[in-house]
């Protein structure tokens, strides 16, 4: 089937197999490989992207379901001149990433959290990130990164 | 001003936060054009004879490029009665064992085709329970008379505890857990027209992987190039190469096409090696004044279905580190590894040392409870004292340096131990439903305990930039930043003019790689030595250019330039000038660091838990940690390693267990079932700093990769038990799930 999906501000039109998952559309059809696959049960959140501005796990969305919608991945966060999004910058400043595999999904989930709750507490950040797994950081610095990006004191 | 010890944001990050890493499944290398996709057909049964395998339907399915079984493989596998085949031939020994390989044009076709491979299994009794395995009633391997893969039950000294006023003994399970890096295993490979195999592999050790591949494929190591791209976590479970990698290299040669493989998470949880998996019987004895006189540790290591690191290395480290931070006059350890019909056990963050620490730290609490003394006090009485280092333990470890009491006092002070004890008493007195528990663990561990060396090469390029090639193979630790900081400090060259390369066997032919918290102390030390050699040579060249004696020139590291000593106005020469004058061979030093002496990081953790006595739910409220690994190069990544270690240690204490039913079916084989720790189950971490150097390497550093994992597990477990101590609870197995905790409360109340 043919799908038309706006990805990172650019319209994409592609012929795909019906069962194509959105994450594979991004990775394999478009070559946007930042979004990762970390499980097969919608548990880990490594594939988190924004669909019409809200975070979804793109391993559990068909490309067909995104037909006619807007998708944002971490590749689409950086500005035209290469300036980092505040969440990207905060992840680096706070050492909120180590191996980097969960990071694109974690950053997109964090963008979504702050859109819904611009001034969260550390505990609210933890609860909002429950669906995104990280094996390296112990989450402490990820929470700090979201706090920094929210413009609040990191230690809350 | 020196950059050492200052907070430096990682140079690795920019790519990872903008376009994402280049993990193996992301690679779009031209050599991989037209690659076929691979999936292993895995055993769904723990123990069975393979009757027949019918691949005819699979071979005719749309998109199939190849379907292969053990009968197709023309490469020899590990000899010996317990050798692990590349693909199972006559018998399967664990759920997840690879039996066949399917290659298709499109990845979505893989699962369809794998289903068509018709394998006839004739089930055998599954050996899951350790005692069942030890009994040898059912043997995993023909031609053996026992399932024991290593070690033996030593005859113990009957008099070991004769002079003890108090002796406590207990059997404790250190459960099997899944390493579960966020990136599962993956590989991509292609044979070139030059007859060489290039494999991109998610590995911690490209050079070891190359040798495994060459050995498995029966080719010269020079024929194989392994490249570790960005690796999405390893935690010990990506050391070297697994059998799947050899099969993929073989299959690529067979079909004459590049091959890509990226396993599913369910495969990962059953077919990537697991960690821990020991049963301990601890016996501890001493005097009522708190002095411990004797300790005995009997270990039964579950090795899983094939003897990998679980057969020898893991219990070996447990044996070595058994006495922990204590000066116990008499220590006895016996270890046995036994094969079971479960996923093979190998290294996982700590690899034998967390198990040793968990055993002795639980034992110290059991002893303290028996004599009615505060667990902190019992530890203080028995610590090895600072003036006793270097200290050789009865188990044969030679500890370098340690300040064990200082570490414990630091966390107790930072945590407010006395106030917490008062709060605990207040709640108990008031009959609060939610009780408070305080858990202490003091630990020492061994890093770079493998005894192997490491390589490092430093080049100063003609434009004055520096390129370093390290044998270490970081995958999240931030080592590129740490090594660039070291070189920047040594050469006076800014960090953005320094490039660190690793993980390509053509660039770094001889190396060991990353595990055992070895990378900074070995990979860093060897780069320092290579840097020293480069500077020595540069001094002569600079002297020549400055028309001075080498003895009279010096490197001004503030300016990154050479000058005549004491005459900074007398002209300088830059690194670029020196490199340009170095001649055809360039300005370079390539060093092998072979004089490896292990180091012994240590620390103390205090965990504060709340336990709801109605539901049995234990929640970690605080964890306060000293993890002393000597001088810190970059506090950013040093703290990051501690955070990650704390989380994985807490996970073992409270949540995670890779479990099997009696027939050997894994019951936690997806991330929906395996209780991988999340952000909501952890508090903010409270880190207390200490830095006691070692004399055993030029940098004075010890390893920090695993330390916090080792301390946190027993601290949290001890805290859960401590919360219920007033009810008479003395022990709760890990993970301390609500059901287990509730059961312990109930048993205590009913006097069981």
Which among B420, B477, B451, B506 has a CA at the least distance from the CA of B196? B506
A34 assigned to some structural domain: yes
Which tokens hold the place of B283?
């016996």
Q: Which two tokens stand for residue A95?
A: 């050492």
Query: Could you tell me if A6 and A62 lie in one domain?
Result: yes
Pair type for strands B36-42 and B259-262: parallel
Q: What beta strand segments (E) does B340-433 contain?
A: 391-392, 398-399
What's the token pair of residue B467?
């390129």
Both A67 and A93 in one domain: the answer is no
| B58 pLDDT more than 80 | yes
> What is each CA distance from B229 to A106, B56, B502, in whole angstroms?
21, 37, 9
Domain membership of residue A100 (yes or no) is: yes
Mean of pLDDT values over A18-36: 98
- CA B343, distance to chain mean position in Å, is 17
Please tell me whether residues A36 and A90 are part of one structural domain: no
Look at A130 and B678 and tell me if their CB atoms are within 8 Å: yes
Instruction: Name which of A35, A40, A77 is nearest B266 (Cβ-Cβ).
Output: A40
Q: Is B533 exposed, middle or buried (0-12, 13-18, 19+ CB in 10 A)?
A: middle
What's the pLDDT at B595?
Answer: 87
Give the number of other Cβ atoms within 10 Å of residue B634's Cβ.
25
Task: Count CB-CB contacts under 10 A for residue B76.
Answer: 12
pLDDT greater at residue A142 or residue B749: A142
Let me know if residue A81 belongs to a domain. no
Residue in chain B closest to A155 (alpha carbons) equals: B684
A1 in contact with chain B, both atoms CB, cutoff 8 A? no
* % chain B with pLDDT above 70: 100
- Of A44, A76, A108, the residue that ends a domain is A76
**Sheet (strand B434-444) strand order:** B434-444, B602-612, B618-628, B685-688
The reply to whether A127 touches chain B by the CB within 8 Å rule is yes
Q: What mean pLDDT comes out for the span B150-154?
A: 89
A70 in the same domain as A91: no
Q: Are residues A6 and A72 in the same domain?
A: yes
Yes or no, beta carbons of B18 and A17 under 8 Å apart? no
Determine the Cα–Cα distance for residues A24 and A22; give it in Å rounded to an integer: 5
For chain B, positions 669-728, list CB contacts with chain A under 8 A: 670-672, 676, 678-680, 682, 684-685
Which domains does chain B show, CATH number per domain? Answer: 1-25+185-262 (3.30.365.10), 34-124 (3.90.1170.50), 275-389+401-447+599-749 (3.30.365.10), 454-593 (3.30.365.10)
Are residues A99 and B230, on separate chains, in Cβ contact within 8 Å?
yes
Chain A residues with beta carbon closer than 8 angstroms to that of B679: 125-127, 129-130, 132, 134, 139, 142-143
Cα nearest neighbour of A127 on chain B: B680
* pLDDT at residue B566, as a whole number: 79
Please indicate, yes or no, whether residues A19 and A52 belong to a single structural domain of this protein: yes
Measured distance CA(B651)–CA(B265) in Å, rounded: 19
Instruction: Report the CATH number that the domain containing residue A29 is assigned in CATH.
Output: 3.10.20.30
On whether residue A48 sits in a domain, the answer given is yes
- Cα atoms in the Cβ-side hemisphere of radius 13 Å centred on B599: 31
Cα–Cα dist B474/B272, whole Å: 20
The whole-angstrom separation of Cα B669 and Cα B273 is: 13
Note which residues in 35-64 of chain A have CB less than 8 A from chain B.
35-44, 46
**Bridge partners (DSSP) listed for residue B102:** B39, B67
pLDDT above 70 covers what percent of chain A?
100
Across the interface, do A44 and B265 touch by the CB < 8 Å criterion?
yes
A115 and A96 in a common domain: yes
Q: Does A25 touch chain B (CB under 8 A)?
A: no
B548 CB-near residues (< 8 Å, 6+ apart): B564
Inform me whether the pLDDT recorded for B370 exceeds 90. yes
Mean pLDDT of A77-81: 91
Q: Is B644 an interface residue toward A (CB < 8 Å)?
A: yes
pLDDT above 90 for B352? yes
pLDDT in tens, B249-296: 999 999 999 999 999 999 999 999 999 999 999 999 999 999 999 999
- A44 and A99 both lie in a single domain: no
Give a yes or no: residue A40 inside a domain: yes
Asked whether the beta carbons of B188 and B199 are under 8 A apart, the reply is yes
Q: What is the model's pLDDT at position B752?
A: 72
Task: Flag if A41 and B25 touch (Cβ within 8 Å).
Answer: no
Same domain, A99 and A129: yes
What is the per-residue pLDDT across B613-669, written as a single tens digit (0 to 9) for each?
Answer: 999 999 999 999 999 999 999 999 999 999 999 999 999 999 999 999 999 999 999
What's the average model confidence in pLDDT over B739-749?
Answer: 96
Do the Cβ atoms of B232 and A140 come within 8 Å?
no
Residues of chain B neighbouring A25 (CB-CB closer than 8 A)? none
Q: Tokens at residue B2, please? A: 């020196």
Q: How many domains does chain A have?
A: 2
Would an 8 Å CB–CB cutoff place A86 in contact with chain B?
Answer: no
- Cβ within 8 Å, pair B25-A37: yes
Check residue A42 and give its pLDDT. 97
Q: Can you give the pLDDT at residue B1?
A: 77
One domain, residues A102 and A45:
no
Contact B615, A73 (CB under 8 A): no
Q: Within a domain: residue A47?
A: yes
Task: Please report the pLDDT score of residue B568 as a whole number.
Answer: 66
Give the A:B interface size as CB pairs under 8 Å. Answer: 182
Contact call for A75 and B18, based on CB within 8 A: yes
> Is the CB of A80 inside 8 Å of chain B's CB atoms?
no
In a domain, A155, yes or no: no
A36 CB neighbours in chain B (<8 A) are 20, 23, 25, 182-183, 232
Task: Please give the Cα distance from A66 to B141 (Å, whole number).
Answer: 52
Q: What is the pLDDT of residues B483-497, one digit of tens each?
A: 999 999 999 999 999
CA dihedral of A51, A57, A60, A64, whole degrees rounded to 10? 20
Q: Does B623 touch chain A (CB under 8 A)?
A: no
∠ CA B221-B222-B227, rounded to 5°: 85
- Give the chain A residue whose CA is nearest to the CA of B637: A95
Residue A110 has pLDDT above 90, yes or no: yes
Task: Give residues 17 to 56 of B whose Cβ lies within 8 Å of A.
Answer: 17-23, 25-26, 28
Q: Domain end: A28, A52, A76, which one?
A: A76
Q: What pLDDT score does B81 carry? A: 79
Query: What is the enclosing helix (H) or strand (E) of B721?
Result: helix B707-723
With a pLDDT cut of 90, the percent of chain B lying above it is 95
ipTM of the assembly?
A: 0.98
* Nearest residue to B164 via CA among B281, B291, B282, B280: B291
H/E segment holding residue A56: strand A54-57
pLDDT band at B583 (very low <50, low <70, confident <90, very high): confident
Q: At residue B79, does pLDDT exceed 80?
A: no
**Cα–Cα distance for residue pair B545/B364, rounded to 1 Å:** 65
| Chain mean pLDDT for chain A | 97
To the nearest 10°, the Cα dihedral for B363, B366, B371, B372? 130
> What's the gap in Å between the CA of A68 and the closest CA on chain B?
24
Give residue-wise pLDDT tens across range B229-249: 999 999 999 999 999 999 999
A83 in B contact zone (CB under 8 Å): no
Q: List Cα–Cα distances, B576 to A69, B532, B580, in angstroms.
A: 54, 17, 6
A100/B672 CB distance under 8 A: no
List helix spans (H) across B70-143. 108-116, 130-135
In sequence order, the 6+-apart residues with CB closer than 8 A to the CB of A105 are: A35, A36, A38, A44, A45, A46, A47, A48, A49, A132
Q: What is the CATH number for A97?
A: 1.10.150.120
Average pLDDT over chain B, rounded to an integer: 97
Domain extent for A61: 2-76
Q: Name the residue of chain B whose CA is nearest to A122's CA.
A: B684
Average pLDDT rounded to a whole number, residues B296-320: 95
Report whether pLDDT(B715) > 80: yes
Same domain, A93 and A129: yes
Q: Identify whether residues A62 and A94 lie together within a single domain.
A: no
| pLDDT of B570 strictly over 80 | no
Q: At residue B154, does pLDDT exceed 90?
A: no
**What does the alpha-carbon distance between residue B408 and residue B228 come to, in Å, rounded to a whole number?**
40
Average pLDDT (B177-202) is 98
* pLDDT single digits (tens) B394-450: 999 999 999 999 999 999 999 999 999 999 999 999 999 999 999 999 999 999 999
pLDDT band at A5 (very low <50, low <70, confident <90, very high): very high
Nearest CB to A143 within list B181, B637, B679? B679
Among the candidates A43, A76, A109, a domain finishes at A76
């Amino acid at each position: 089937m043919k799908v038309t999906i706006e990805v990172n501000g650019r319209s994409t039109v592609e012929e795909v197999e019906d069962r194509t998952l959105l994450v594979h559309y991004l990775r394999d059809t478009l070559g946007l490989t930042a979004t990762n696959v970390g499980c097969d049960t919608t548990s880990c959140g490594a594939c988190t992207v924004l669909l019409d501005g809200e975070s979804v796990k793109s391993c559990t969305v068909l490309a067909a379901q995104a037909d006619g919608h807007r998708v944002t991945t971490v590749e689409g966060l950086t500005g035209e001149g290469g300036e980092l999004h505040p969440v990207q910058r905060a992840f680096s400043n706070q050492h909120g990433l180590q191996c980097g595999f969960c990071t694109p999904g974690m950053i997109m989930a964090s963008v979504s959290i702050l859109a819904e709750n611009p001034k969260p507490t550390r505990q609210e950040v933890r609860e909002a990130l429950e669906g995104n797994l990280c094996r390296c950081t112990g989450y402490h610095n990820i929470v700090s990164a979201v706090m920094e990006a929210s413009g609040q004191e990191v230690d809350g | 001003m020196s950059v050492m010890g200052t907070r430096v944001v990682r140079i690795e990050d920019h790519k990872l936060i903008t376009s994402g890493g280049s993990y193996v499944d992301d690679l779009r290398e031209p050599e991989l054009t037209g690659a076929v996709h691979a999936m292993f057909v895995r055993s769904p049964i723990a123990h069975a004879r393979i009757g027949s395998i019918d691949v005819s339907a699979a071979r005719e399915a749309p998109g199939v490029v190849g379907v292969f079984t053990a009968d197709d493989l023309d490469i020899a596998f590990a000899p010996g009665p317990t050798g692990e085949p590349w693909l199972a031939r006559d018998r399967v020994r664990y759920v997840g064992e690879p039996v066949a390989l399917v290659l298709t044009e499109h990845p979505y076709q893989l699962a369809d085709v794998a289903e068509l491979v018709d394998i006839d299994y004739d089930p055998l009794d599954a050996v899951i329970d350790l005692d069942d395995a030890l009994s040898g009633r059912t043997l995993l391997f023909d031609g053996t008379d026992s399932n024991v893969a290593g070690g033996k039950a030593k005859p113990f000294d009957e008099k070991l505890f004769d002079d003890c006023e108090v002796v406590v003994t207990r059997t404790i399970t250190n459960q099997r857990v899944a390493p579960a890096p966020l990136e599962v295993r993956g590989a991509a490979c292609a044979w070139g027209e030059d007859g060489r195999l290039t494999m991109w592999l998610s590995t911690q050790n490209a050079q070891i992987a190359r040798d495994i591949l060459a050995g498995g494929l029966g080719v010269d190591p020079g024929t194989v190039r392994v490249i570790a791209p960005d690796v999405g976590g390893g935690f010990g479970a990506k050391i070297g190469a697994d059998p799947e990698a050899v099969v993929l290299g073989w299959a690529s040669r067979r079909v004459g096409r590049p091959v890509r493989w990226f396993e599913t998470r369910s495969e990962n949880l059953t077919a990537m090696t697991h960690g821990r998996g020991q049963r301990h019987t601890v016996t501890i004895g001493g005097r009522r004044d708190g002095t411990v006189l004797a300790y005995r540790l009997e270990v039964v290591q579950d090795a899983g279905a094939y003897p990998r690191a679980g057969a020898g290395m893991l219990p070996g480290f447990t044996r070595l580190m058994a006495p922990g931070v204590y000066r116990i006059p008499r220590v006895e350890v016996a270890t046995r590894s036994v094969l079971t019909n479960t996923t093979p056990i190998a290294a996982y963050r700590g690899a034998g040392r967390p198990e040793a620490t968990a055993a002795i730290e639980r034992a110290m609490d059991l002893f303290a409870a028996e004599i009615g003394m505060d667990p902190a006090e019992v530890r203080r009485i028995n610590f090895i004292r600072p003036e006793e280092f270097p200290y050789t333990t009865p188990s044969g470890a030679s500890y370098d340096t340690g300040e064990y009491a200082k570490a414990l006092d630091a966390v107790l002070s930072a945590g407010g131990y006395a106030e917490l004890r008062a709060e605990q008493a207040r709640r108990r007195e008031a009959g609060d439903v939610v009780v408070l528990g305080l858990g202490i663990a003091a630990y020492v561990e061994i890093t770079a305990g493998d005894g192997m060396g490491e390589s490092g090469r430093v080049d100063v390029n003609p434009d004055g930039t520096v390129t370093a090639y390290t044998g270490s193979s970081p995958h999240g630790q931030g080592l590129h930043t740490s090594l660039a900081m070291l070189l920047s400090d040594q050469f006076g060259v800014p960090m953005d003019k320094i490039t660190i390369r690793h993980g390509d066997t053509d660039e770094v032919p001889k190396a060991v790689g990353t595990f055992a918290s070895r990378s900074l102390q070995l990979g860093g030390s060897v780069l320092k030595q290579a840097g020293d050699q480069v500077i020595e040579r540069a001094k002569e060249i600079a002297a020549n250019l400055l028309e001075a004696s080498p003895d009279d020139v010096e490197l001004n590291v503030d300016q990154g330039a050479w000058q005549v000593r004491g005459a900074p106005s007398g002209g300088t020469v830059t690194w670029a000038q020196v490199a340009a004058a170095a001649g055809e061979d360039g300005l370079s030093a390539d060093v092998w660091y072979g004089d490896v002496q292990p180091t012994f990081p240590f620390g103390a953790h205090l965990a504060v838990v709340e336990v709801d006595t109605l539901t049995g739910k234990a929640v970690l409220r605080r964890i306060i940690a000293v993890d002393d690994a000597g001088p810190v190069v970059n506090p950013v990544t040093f703290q990051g390693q501690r955070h990650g270690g704390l989380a994985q240690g807490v996970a073992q204490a409270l949540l995670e267990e890779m479990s099997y039913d009696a027939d050997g079916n894994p019951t936690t084989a997806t991330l929906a079932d395996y209780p991988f720790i999340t952000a909501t189950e952890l508090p903010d971490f409270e880190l207390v700093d200490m830095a006691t150097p070692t004399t055993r390497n030029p940098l004075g550093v010890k390893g920090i990769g695993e330390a916090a994992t080792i301390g946190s597990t027993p601290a949290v477990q001890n805290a859960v038990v401590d919360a219920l101590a007033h009810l008479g609870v003395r022990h709760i197995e890990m993970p301390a799930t609500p059901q287990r905790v509730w059961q312990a409360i109930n048993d205590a109340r009913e006097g069981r």
